[in-house]
């Protein structure tokens, strides 16, 4: 089959690789009908995620048709059309029972690695380094889906791939980030980063009833997108305005009730702190550049909530623990517990409350994945989300 392989920093190649096989009774093989590149794939692309190996197959956002099944999967049948959550979860461990699926204790065969780095193991994830199990990803023609009796969600025939594909990650992720904010009608939410996850966080915050949602991003086209398509009420461009001052001006000096960080470890920025972060990261003295989360904490109103969706890998410096503690700010974060949200978000799509296809900006061939990565990375041609098909 054809598959998108990571070959080193900023190098992906679509190659012929062996077809995946059923290895366990609870596996399924899915023939991918649509897949896409995630902002978090860029952390792999740019070489910021440790433990990637040459030839690793990328991709954790995909959907398709079930073409082979292990003997223990009784809830699916051949030909079913499914969307697959990026997090691999067993469905029966202590964490899965608590619906904390991205903390599954059973699905990461290399769990000893995150255990050393982070204290405890994280779940397995498709196409996301050997820290998360080294599973082959879905930017390919076929993919093996472990615990297929738990993860894949059957989707109705009347919804297009574009309408349901993002249930694999960015829609539930953005929604969870908004849900963390305990939104009530008069609340003001600031969303740092107006990439695809940011757009879903904005849209979800509005759907949950936030009065105002402020989008922050250095790219004018993404701010326009946030206003026109996701329902942001205000925008701030950090290239033109001081974010902290602008947020104060928009909130009668108090700060937003909650801030959602949709940026993560490759934040851009200016000034001394940013230069410091860059040096620390490039010399491997820190894994993360915390510009966005730092600003989110400083901007947030006292006793407010900072919801972190942006991916961070390890350790950071100049983290404003003093502001956090003295002003009583709550941090809520996590890789999305996708399984917890898929079904109820599918119901929202079916009821017409949201059409996730609003983020699709480009359609390309799987064989053009290298070009797609390059374009997504460079934010060329007003790119938001690229659908790849074999």
- Residue 180 vs 376, nearer CB to Zn ion: 376
Give least dist CB 255 to Zn ion, A: 29
Question: How far is it between the farthest Cα atoms of the chain?
Answer: 61
Residue 230 or 329: the one with the smaller Cβ distance to Zn ion is 230
In whole angstroms, what is the distance from residue 161 CA to residue 349 CA? Answer: 12
- CB 379 to Zn ion: min, Å: 17
**Shortest CB 11 distance to Zn ion, Å:** 20
Residue 250 C-beta: closest distance to Zn ion, Å: 30
CB 204 → Zn ion: shortest distance, Å? 16
**Which residues contact Zn ion (rule: CB under 5 A)?**
38, 40, 89-90, 93, 96, 104, 106, 169
Identify which of 143, 136, 146 has the alpha carbon closest to the alpha carbon of residue 65.
Answer: 143
> Nearest residue to Zn ion, using CB?
38
Element (H, E) at 118: helix 112-118
Q: Which is nearer to Zn ion, 39 or 134 (CB)?
A: 39
Closer Cβ to Zn ion, 69 or 123, answer by number: 123
The owner of tokens 């004018």 is: 220
Q: Which is nearer to Zn ion, 162 or 169 (CB)?
A: 169
For residue 165, the minimal CB distance to Zn ion (Å) is 11
Measured in degrees and rounded to the nearest 5, phi and psi for residue 36 equal -155, 165
By the 8 A CB rule, do 57 and 4 touch?
Answer: yes
Q: Which is nearer to Zn ion, 63 or 89 (CB)?
A: 89
For the record, the structure tokens of 135 come out as 């599973």
Contacts 24+ apart (CB under 8 A), 270-279: 270/238, 273/318, 276/317, 276/318, 277/316, 277/317, 277/318
- Which CB, 14 or 87, lies closer to Zn ion? 87
DSSP symbol at 266: B
Q: Least distance (Å) from Zn ion to the CB of residue 344?
A: 19
Crossing angle for the helix pair 291-299 and 243-250, to the nearest 10 degrees: 30
| For Zn ion, the closer CB: 96 or 265 | 96
> How many angstroms separate the Cα of 273 from the Cα of each of 83, 329, 376?
41, 22, 27
CB 87 within 8 A of CB 340: no
Taking the complex as a whole, the smallest distance from the CB of residue 310 to Zn ion amounts, in Å, to: 12
Per DSSP, 372 falls in state H
In angstroms, give the least distance from the CB of 103 to Zn ion.
Answer: 8
Gap between the Cα atoms of 53 and 47, Å rounded: 11
Q: How far is 211 from 226, CA to CA, in rounded Å? A: 15
374: region left, alpha or beta (phi > 0 left; psi from -120 to 50 alpha): alpha
- Pick the closer one to Zn ion by CB: 172 or 256: 172
């Amino acid at each position: 089959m054809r598959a998108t392989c990571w070959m080193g920093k900023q190098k992906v190649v679509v190659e012929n690789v062996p077809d995946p096989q059923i290895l366990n009774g609870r596996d399924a093989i899915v023939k991918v009908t649509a897949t896409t590149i995630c902002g978090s794939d860029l952390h792999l692309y740019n070489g910021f995620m440790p433990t990637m190996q040459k030839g690793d197959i990328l991709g954790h956002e995909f959907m398709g048709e079930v073409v082979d099944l292990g003997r223990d999967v009784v809830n699916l049948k051949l030909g079913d059309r499914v969307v697959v959550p990026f997090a691999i979860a067993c469905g029966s461990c202590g964490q899965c029972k608590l619906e904390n699926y991205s903390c599954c204790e059973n699905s990461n065969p290399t769990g000893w690695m995150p255990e050393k780095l982070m204290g405890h193991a994280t779940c397995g994830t498709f196409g996301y380094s050997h820290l998360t199990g080294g599973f082959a990803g879905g930017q390919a023609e076929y993919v093996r889906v472990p615990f297929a009796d738990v993860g894949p969600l059957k989707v109705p025939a009347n919804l297009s791939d574009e309408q349901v594909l993002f249930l694999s990650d960015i829609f539930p992720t953005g929604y969870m980030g908004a849900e963390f904010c305990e939104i009530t009608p008069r609340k003001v939410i600031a969303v740092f980063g107006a990439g695809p996850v940011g757009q879903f966080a904005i849209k979800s915050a509005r759907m949950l009833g936030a009065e105002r949602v402020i989008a922050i991003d250095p790219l004018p086209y993404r701010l326009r997108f946030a206003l026109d398509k996701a329902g942001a009420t205000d925008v701030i461009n950090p290239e033109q305005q001081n974010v902290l001052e602008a947020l104060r001006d928009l909130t009668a000096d108090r700060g937003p009730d909650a801030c959602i960080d949709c940026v993560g470890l490759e934040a851009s920025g200016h000034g001394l702190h940013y230069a410091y972060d860059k040096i620390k990261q490039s010399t491997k003295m820190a894994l993360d550049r915390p510009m966005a989360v730092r600003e989110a904490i400083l901007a947030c109103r006292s006793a407010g909530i900072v919801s972190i969706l942006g991916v961070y890998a390890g350790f950071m410096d100049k983290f404003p623990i003093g502001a956090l503690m003295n002003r009583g700010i709550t941090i809520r974060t996590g890789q999305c517990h996708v399984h917890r949200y898929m079904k109820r978000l599918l119901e929202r799509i079916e009821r017409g409350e949201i059409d996730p296809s609003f983020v699709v900006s480009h359609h390309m061939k799987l064989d053009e994945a290298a070009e797609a990565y390059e374009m997504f990375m460079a934010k060329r041609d007003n790119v938001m989300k690229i659908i790849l098909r074999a």
